[in-house]
Amino acid sequence: MVLLLDDVMIPGDPAMISATKRIGQLAMDRMSRGDRMAVVFTAASGGAQTFTSDRARLTRAIDSFRPGHAMHMLGWDAATKNLDKPEPNNWEVGVDTDAGYRAGSIRTLEEVARSLAAAPERRKILIFVSTGVFADADSASGVATPGRSLMNSDANGSLVRRLPALFRRMR
């Protein structure tokens, strides 16, 4: 079992931090005697835990979750600016400072899925705890529009193209 906590896209909101840790704890509580779990993060790997059945180690890994990397401009519909983080003055010109973060979350998800698929035959579970990674198929045309740069369209288009293959591999 892999518990993938998206510390990049989950905002540093106390309620979301608590909910994420609670989900991790619930997943751990449902482990059977022979199950092993790994805890992986999309950004900060310092608290990650390799496969183990040791609940104390898993709890420490889950408790090390520290989110809030993304600015959430265009990346999450209900989000606002992260006022605790300094930011380049790109909000007004439509530059999405979270494009790399979203791509990194998907890249981590792809690597975890690839690792699980290559593991010996046994029950495999991937739990991805995230606010989601915004990918808009309608705006993935690669054409810049008012308020959206070509860079944003390219980054979005890349995610839209990668997701179907990722979901097929995970199945």
Local confidence pLDDT in tens for the 171 residues of the chain: 999 999 988 888 888 899 999 999 999 999 998 899 999 999 887 899 999 999 999 999 999 999 878 776 444 344 444 555 555 544 444 556 677 788 888 889 999 998 888 888 778 899 999 987 776 666 555 555 555 556 666 777 777 788 888 888 777
Number of alpha carbons in the 13 Å side-chain half-sphere of residue 11? 17
Q: Side chain identity at 16, as an amino acid letter? A: M
C-alpha to C-alpha distance for 65 and 47, rounded to whole angstroms: 7
Q: What is the pTM of this model?
A: 0.78
Q: Got the DSSP string for 86-131?
A: ---S-TTTT--TTHHHHHHHHHHHHHHHHHHHHSPSS---EEEE-S
